[in-house]
């Protein structure tokens, strides 16, 4: 992860902002609403924070979205958005998130890191 705010410690990865929209919750379609979220990848969770300060807080607040990666599926998609560099995470409970960054190498780095986390947490 590039940039002054990025970090990669103890297996956590992130500290960058990604555009995120949840398009389905437990199989129920949601209104698309792209939001710039501070994003942190843990070994088996992807966390989205509205406020940067919350990243270092001991407990996530109610505005933090936690994506469980065990059994999730990640794929690049082109048909669900007019934006470039969009990938989708589908959780094992049927929630669907679209994630997007204009810079391809940043998007690709997140895709690869999330894919690795999914693969290792699903195997474990
Ligand atoms: C949506 C908004 C989204 C757009 C979406 C629109 O309109 O413009 O940015 O998604 O397209 O419906 P609104 O703000 O009125 O809800 P993309 O940026 O991903 O294209 P969609 O309906 O084709 O998904």
Q: Which residues does 105 contact at the CB level (< 8 Å), separation at least 6?
A: none
- How far apart are the CA of 7 and the centre of ligand 1, in A? 31
The radius of gyration of the chain from alpha carbons, rounded to an integer in Å, stands at: 13
User: Pick from 107, 79, 111: which is nearest to 18 by CA?
Assistant: 107
Among the atoms of ligand 1, which is closest to the Cα of residue 32?
16
Name beta bridge partners: 94. Answer: none
Below-50 pLDDT ranges, the chain: 1-5
- Tens of pLDDT, residue by residue over 58-79, are 777 778 899 999 999 999 999 9
Closest-CA residue, ligand 1 atom 23, reads 81
pLDDT score recorded for residue 123: 82
Residue among 32, 36, 80, 81 to mutate when testing ligand 1 (max atoms within 8 A of CB):
32
pLDDT score recorded for residue 10: 53
Look up the ipTM and state it.
0.89
pLDDT score recorded for residue 58: 78
Predicted TM-score (pTM) above 0.80: yes
Ramachandran quadrant class, 54 (left: phi over 0; alpha: psi -120 to 50; beta: rest): alpha
pLDDT score recorded for residue 63: 82
């Amino acid at each position: 992860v590039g940039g002054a705010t990025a970090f990669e410690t103890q297996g956590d990865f992130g500290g960058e902002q990604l555009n995120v929209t949840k398009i389905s919750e437990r199989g129920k379609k949601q209104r698309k609403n792209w939001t710039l979220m501070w994003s942190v990848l843990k070994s088996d969770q992807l966390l989205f924070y509205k406020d940067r300060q919350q990243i270092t807080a001991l407990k996530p607040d109610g505005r933090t979205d936690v994506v469980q990666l065990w059994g999730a599926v990640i794929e690049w998609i082109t048909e669900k958005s007019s934006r470039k560099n969009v990938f989708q995470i589908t959780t094992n409970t049927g929630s669907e998130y679209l994630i997007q960054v204009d810079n391809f190498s940043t998007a690709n780095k997140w895709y690869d890191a999330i894919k690795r986390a999914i693969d290792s947490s699903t195997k474990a």
